[in-house]
Structure 1
């Protein structure tokens, strides 16, 4: 953008899509544009996604805790291995179309081309469903072969998960399609709140009838089926022409798959980064050890909810700003988003370090506390991942998907090598270092490529504020624990969380906020107030 024409630049910055669609009415979301800032849209999207992911992670923690306690570490380990298999199969089924559909729905929508928007969605959904059926058949008939690498008891579990795969893949690609419209509301409601609630309700029902581990997987499949129906309802509401047989559809197959093929490799290798340590650990140790590590790994990833909260809304914004060559806006927003992501992730990380053993004990009982060291190691790697911000999304949304593919391949190879080298002798700790090696390698290379390819750097002097605030809050908590030792477990957890949160926020405010920080906090708070008002209205209707 030419610096000699600032008024034009200002107008273009404001020419953005509308605010998040409201659930207060049944009217479909409008696709017209309106005056809005990028920071405001990021804040609203992050607010909605953070609330949803917070609820989703809480539901997931409760659900996993119930499963761990009711199934025991052995059966929970089998369940964990089954989840690893079906997650890998789901990534294969999407074939990278999740990234393609977000990028090109946002791109064609920005060009006011509903025919290509419809064609992109139909192709992505259709190909994903077709591939998932083929992969599900391989899962079902190859369950014995897969189980042969681990334990024979895993075979019926994998076969049960095979029935869940098509619904899982279909729900996921539908929700990715909604994010192409620069809204995370629908994906958040479905994937983080409604589907987990349905799964938990089904598990409660199964508990009273004494269902087996296979029954638990059947409940998982049913919840995914309901998730498909909910996702389709929301997508149809967001984009009514989707199901109109008279609406034109233009298919840009080459463009879509030009992004999707390399991103399918990236997604598969990112999955490997998350699950390689679990799968390799299962080769050398019994399922009970796998269950303990999975509890530690899942708890360590709590900090990622902050990054995911920003990624969902920031990805289509990256595509939009990059296509309009608004590099200054994109670079500035990248710095802000990275700092906000790190601030939230650093707070979660310090909380995990302070309560590592307590968190795992609450999760599954005393036997799970053995994973505390592994938990801290993986959490440190996740914090480093947060410190580079949405670097991988910057590459994926700016035509650098091939570079991202090679980066993730390198990270995955590093994780595999480290896992096989360390797990046989170090067990849980070796698995943690293997997972951390993959995460650190991938994020370091991504950061370097964003700098070299795009010229962006995420760090600024303002990073000292969350660093000092976090360290000050952690020091205060340690002092409080010295003054009040030997408290009951849940009381200690509540005291640590309350003290840390109050001091951390207080110090951040004392250090001062930048103008974009103030705008972000203001919009973020609006989302919270709207959510509270909506909750009060719903509560009033129930009482009425």
Structure 2
């Protein structure tokens, strides 16, 4: 690894670790909450909860219009240029827009809830619960605005505090309200109340910073002018996100139409989505770190370094994510049963299918869009997102309305493949970079073999679910490491690179270094 590439990797690893600890802690707390809530509600009531928040989540997509992107960008830019009074104006303009758009869409959701519940979802009794869920749109506006401000101000510790508070309050509130007999309604009240409280905590923390900023020279903060500039920047960036988010929520919107009187399978799908967060622990840091890492390089000036950083990012992301995908698929049945009970019988299949999408890390999907965006070619991203929508929306409509959850998952797995193939061709032509296909193939093969061996081992015994999980882990981990070593995916160069990357992570870095030393001792002698 060149000096420049090594420095980028090291800084990215350290920054990602520092930024994401709050996300990980809050996600773990939320996951624990989901386990208890799912057990208390059961598959039917949990399915009803999933349906209740579907329409507000669909409407929520149209709240932001890139304002949070603009808040981050202009706050960071003006701070770097010493224009601190304008930072204050940007923050105020962003907060006003988020609150106003959140309020308007909240009212719209309230007005549409009865129609959607009765005429689309065929569940008129759900209307009052959907109306409660509508307030989530307004509450989440406070969270989004505060989070964007903290990011632009480089105060991510405050963002972590806000997220952790939300997770704790949500878990405690929902469990308490469900236990006292409020059921699905209690779950929705807990979601809305916790988001509102966390949003207010975030705004209070932000106000402490805001009041320390210098006031604008002009008596008028010219909010309209700032909003125009922010929307001019944010809307093009947000369109691709809006399209992608709309597609995901549109498919969810179709599920209650297919399952007109049964909430059970929707509840099973909700559990599978909650469980898949395990893989997200490993993929989210990668996607978060890659954009700033690639942004430090110019494809015209740093072509060779860009090529190495891209290939390293794909290879190391695959080495981390693909084995996790494999073990989740192999242990989906005992995992779901152990955590959520025996009533979610379809969730293991849904979980295993959903996990397949994360294996696309071996194809470079965690790095490619970040690379393209970092080089300023955002219009290309918008074009391929539109292509994905042109494929996904008609395909999803047919498959979901005919096959339900299975159709939804199949759609999510195939809709983006043509766009990703085009992206890979484009970056090779434009930047001269490509995936190390040999390494990716070996990683997938090693993980697949380990998963098959693990699945065979737990299928051959009849232990309780927790013992099967333990047995699966004991079988899988050495098998996948052995596979990676025998196929020479891990080389001495990789060991050296990884040591450099984790060198600034303190205690965690020292722990990883000891693991790398152990791996180095058992590596085949001829690896290079």
Which range, TM-score by smaller chain? Answer: 0.7 to 0.9
**What is the deviation of 1:491?**
1.2
Q: 1:289–1:253: structure 2 CA closer, same or farther, 3 Å change rule?
A: same
Unpaired runs of at least 5, structure 1: 1-8, 15-35, 531-544
| Counterparts of 1:302 and 1:207, CA distance in 2 | 25
Once the two structures are superposed, residues 322-352 of structure 1 have per-residue CA deviations (whole angstroms, 9 ceiling, x without a partner) of 5996565555433333333222221221012
Q: Which residues of 2 match residues 231-310 of structure 1 at below 5 A?
A: 231-232=202-203, 235=206, 240=209, 243-244=212-213, 246=215, 253-285=227-259, 286-300=262-276, 302-310=278-286
**What is the deviation of 1:129?**
1.6
Q: Which residues of 2 match residues 456-471 of structure 1 at below 5 A?
A: 456-459=433-436, 462-463=439-440, 466-467=443-444, 469-471=446-448
Contact 1:182 1:316 in 2 (8 A): no
One of 483, 501, 504 as aligned partner of 1:523:
504
Q: Which residues of 2 match residues 500-519 of structure 1 at below 5 A?
A: 500-504=476-480, 511-512=491-492, 513-519=494-500
Q: 1:320–1:81: structure 2 CA closer, same or farther, 3 Å change rule?
A: farther
| Counterparts of 1:233 and 1:321, CA distance in 2 | 37
Contact 1:423 1:431 in 2 (8 A): yes
One of 412, 417, 421 as aligned partner of 2:398:
421
Once the two structures are superposed, residues 42-95 of structure 1 have per-residue CA deviations (whole angstroms, 9 ceiling, x without a partner) of 112333456544444433333223232222323212211233333333331111
Partner of 1:37, secondary structure, is helix
**What is the deviation of 1:390?**
3.1
| Counterparts of 1:383 and 1:80, CA distance in 2 | 26
Contact 1:46 1:524 in 2 (8 A): no
| Counterparts of 2:107 and 2:228, CA distance in 1 | 28
One of 174, 193, 206 as aligned partner of 1:203:
174
The root-mean-square deviation of aligned C-alpha atoms, in Å, is 3.5
Greater displacement, 100-109 / 40-49: 100-109
Greater displacement, 425-434 / 517-526: 517-526
| Counterparts of 2:303 and 2:340, CA distance in 1 | 48
Match of 1:497 in 2: 473
**What is the deviation of 1:270?**
1.7
Contact 1:82 1:161 in 2 (8 A): yes
Match of 2:142 in 1: 170
Q: 1:132–1:379: structure 2 CA closer, same or farther, 3 Å change rule?
A: same
State the TM-score, normalized to the length of structure 2. Answer: 0.81
Match of 2:409 in 1: 432
| Counterparts of 1:76 and 1:441, CA distance in 2 | 35
Q: Which residues of 2 match residues 42-441 of structure 1 at below 5 A?
A: 42-48=12-18, 51-147=21-117, 148-150=119-121, 151-180=123-152, 185-191=157-163, 193-232=164-203, 235=206, 240=209, 243-244=212-213, 246=215, 253-285=227-259, 286-300=262-276, 302-321=278-297, 329-384=305-360, 387-441=364-418
Aligned length in residues: 495
| Counterparts of 1:327 and 1:227, CA distance in 2 | 44
Unpaired runs of at least 5, structure 2: 512-528
Contact 1:273 1:438 in 2 (8 A): no
